[in-house]
Structure 1
């Protein structure tokens, strides 16, 4: 069984993952908590880490069962085949979201275009390219999997 990357309708990631779980599939929809401002209040809400993408663990034979959920658009393709996320990549995303080791990192004077290498975790020695640096977030491009990761760095400075 492998993790397939599924494209969903916009703003349907969480609902689609819940429907697929109800169908008995193993689904992972990484979410983060953000504070949203309305005119009369602030509220913490859970939002997907990757807009319009979820992960489904399935066999090649059963992978088309994802189309039973109405929010599924299709598979993310890479080189003409359905994209597969490695188990260690899924575990690394889970670790990031659980802050398993982020307290050990110290970021100093990074700028756009810098190449950084992870020194710990399941993607140890993997290289990322800094795309954008803000006061509280940094965007990293992971060329091996073709993803742009936005990480909150306010707690690790």
Structure 2
């Protein structure tokens, strides 16, 4: 990254199963790249293995000065395009990137349940690693979970948080 410029975060869409490769190639090009990965256990016929899979399939995040570094990103093998509206790439707020980093650091929160918050209500987290995170509560069967929707990339993530830490918004 060139010093003195005003870099912003963007999401790029990449070829199927190229997320890790694109992330590595961007780092080799000295671009600030972020790929949120979650550890999962995969079952093969003869063994189980822990692997890291992208939180969002097909997406890699990069912090660049669009005017001076966008070509460097687009020339990276596996990169298809910037995510955005029309020809305008969507800027992703640093706050959203920090939330994604928190989600990756707190993977257990993606599996616990939330109770006592009405379905469809918008809430804000008051404390803990997800402080100030806002989302909507959704129900799946008997479980309730907070869904955080990232408008810039049109993707949502389910997060579980103790209802005691949630404030219902109007």
TM bucket, shorter chain = 0.7 to 0.9
Cα deviation, residue 80, structure 1: 4.9
The aligned length equals 151
CA distance in 2, matches of 1:110, 1:119: 14
Aligned structure 1 segments of 4 or more residues deviating by more than 4 angstroms: 109-112, 134-139
Instruction: Name the Cα RMSD after superposition.
Output: 3.2
Supply the distance in 2 between the matched residues of 1:139 and 1:16 (Cα, whole angstroms). 30
Could you tell me how far apart the structure 2 residues matched to 1:118 and 1:106 are? 15
Q: Does 1:97 align with 2:104?
A: yes
Structure 1 residues 8-157: aligned runs within 5 Å: 8-61=14-67, 62-78=69-85, 80-99=87-106, 107-109=114-116, 113-120=120-127, 124=132, 127-131=134-138, 133=140, 138=145, 140-142=147-149, 144-145=151-152, 146-151=154-159, 153=160
Unaligned runs of 5+ in 1: none
Instruction: For structure 2, list consecutive stretches of 5 or more residues without a partner in the other structure.
Output: 1-6, 164-170
Query: When the two structures are superposed, what TM-score results if normalisation uses the length of structure 1?
Result: 0.78
Q: Shift of residue 67 of structure 1?
A: 1.6
How far the C-alpha of 1:42 sits from its partner, in A, is 1.0
